[in-house]
Amino acid sequence: MNLIEEIKKYVEDECKKETNFFGVNIYNHHFISMVKYAKMLAKETGADEEIVEIAAWLHDIGSILGDYENHHLSGAEHAERLLKI
């Protein structure tokens, strides 16, 4: 499994947990479309598509893990830990 598939699976699994305040539907109704549009934008702008896709999958991970108010900070820290593994 490649890195993007691992991250996608991780986000999906976290969205399915009962601790996810937003419920499992956030995966289908937010993350899937967010990634789709991020990839389209990356192509249009010449951005690194792999990096953009990884960022799109992880952009709200802090919220899913329970820190909605500071998800931009906690999510970035969590993403950094994940990507260092």
Rg (CA), the chain: 13
Mean pLDDT for the stretch of residues 19-42:
94
- To which residue do tokens 């931009």 refer? 72
pLDDT at 85 over 80: no
Query: CA distances (Å), 67 to each of 41, 46, 55, in order?
Result: 28, 32, 18
Query: Which domains are seen in the chain, by residue range?
Result: 3-84 (1.10.472)
pLDDT at 1 over 90: no
Q: What is the mean pLDDT of the chain?
A: 93
pTM (predicted TM-score): 0.89
